[in-house]
Chains A and B, each alone.
Chain A
Amino acid sequence: MNSHGVTPLDAPLARFGVAASFEGDLALLGLRGEIDASSARVLGAFVEALAASGYPSVVLDIAELESLDAAGLAVVASAAGTLVGAGGGLTIRSSSTDVARVLDITWLSDLIGIELSPGRNHLGPEQERRLSAPPPGLGQAGSAEDPMTVTAIPTNEDVVDSALGLVVALARATVGGADGASVTLRRHGRLATVAASDQTILDMDADQYATGEGPCVDAAIEGRWFHAESLEAEPRWPAFTPKARALGISAILSSPLLVRDRPVGALNMYSRTATAFEIEDQKLAGVFATEASNVLAAAGVDIADDQLAGRFRLALRTREIIAEAQGVIMEREDIGDKEAFDVLRRSSGLSGKPLREEARDVIGSTHRPDSGTEIRSPERHHD
């Protein structure tokens, strides 16, 4: 049963586990067992996925880690490099001064923030606060007394919102024919108005989110420009248009906000006069939309990643379900984890159902309770 492949994932993973959780902009990975060459790859994949999902600031809690060998250190170093490259950083949370010392002896402490758990903390109260709540302003680097801290501080949403508020005010004042303006952003997987010139505009945006249609919804989702020249003759949004007209609005111009070419929201201009937005006004609105996009990009707040992060969390859960089903099959049929995967894969091929559904069926047949987002190696079921 020895594999000739390049991915050994049998014995050494047996005792390794990762529990992922999210605190605001921070991703916390709690590690258990041993980090060695195999488990290091899992960890590397996690960190890479987190960085790609808009969580470049990662805390590794290694309180329950039994050992960290050279391969483990290498992956921690490479993870830190990835995260710093993505605009974040890696902080190690540990109750052991030994780990801090190891990182300090190697060059790693230049790259990685270290936190000692309460009780042996010598880093001062700021670092503790940083983990429980985002700090009140844009980040300052670690102070001179604690050179070990290089963690990136998440950007404060309030700062971004006030910058966008300024863009809205300028657009409202300078775009000809505009009676109101707003910025819609995708935040936490939903569309929300983060800046609006007045209450009517807020209500109008809310009507669009509630009906799931309207130029601002379309611009924010499709990343294209939408112009309703005259709502009186507008067939595209039948549920929303009457509500807008009831609020006295006759024309809407929504320009997409794009960060790294992905739609993250829209700048919306509203007018009480039909066909109010002429070519020059449309161009100007486009300029302000670019400004707002720049604010978002400069703040490093890639809001579109909310969606990706959600997708990533789903992937983690599915992965756990599949691993658990593999464990059940391994126990039942006394086979290895790859063979257990093949069993699931073949039934998925036969039934035409996705493998995750097959996995759910397998778990359902044992009435095993769901255990959150903890990812375990299937071997644990032999304990």
Chain B
Amino acid sequence: MTDQTANTLDEFRRDALLSHGELWLRYFELGGMSSALEVEAFLYEALEPSPHDRDLIAHALNERFVELGGNHPVPYAEDLRV
């Protein structure tokens, strides 16, 4: 539980105007193997995703932001390592 001001994945999801189901489908499309429930738990930070899962979710969100005319605001696992 770090006290960061950074957005949670779920906040990014809401900004990206994606339902949990649609985000999971996009994650699955990229090769993700966790269930929709697990992904939801990652978003709410109830479970910690593996770095690979984190990247899959981050990329699914980033592609969505590009569709909406934005850039890649969601950090990947390597960006979070200090």
Contacts and interface: CB of A to CB of B under 8 A. Distances in A.
Contact of A348 (B25, B33, B63): B63
Chain A facing B: main interface SS: helix
B36 interface: yes
Contacts of A319: 28-31
A11 to B, nearest CB: 14
A356 B33 contact: no
Given A48-B36, A348-B63, A355-B63, A7 B31 contact: no
Nearest to A82: B35
Contact of B51 (A5, A312, A315, A318): A5
B52 A3 contact: yes
Nearest to B55: A345
| Contact count band on B | 20 to 34
Interface residues of A, number: 32
A372 interface: no
A103 to B, nearest CB: 23
A341 B55 contact: yes
Contacts, number: 80
Q: Which one of A3, A48, A323, A345 has the highest number of Cβ atoms from chain B below 10 Å of its Cβ?
A: A345
Contacts of B48: 6
A263 to B, nearest CB: 16
A3 B50 contact: yes
Interface in A101-132: none
Given A345-B59, A352-B66, A9 B33 contact: yes
A141 B6 CA distance: 54
B69 to A, nearest CB: 11
A49 interface: yes
A209 to B, nearest CB: 26
Nearest to B25: A315
B27 to A, nearest CB: 10
15 contacts: A6-B49, A7-B49, A38-B33, A45-B32, A45-B33, A48-B37, A312-B25, A315-B25, A318-B29, A322-B30, A341-B55, A348-B63, A349-B62, A349-B72, A355-B59
Interface of A: 3-7, 9, 38, 41-42, 44-45, 48-49, 52, 311-312, 315, 318-319, 322-323, 326, 338, 341-342, 345, 348-349, 352, 354-356
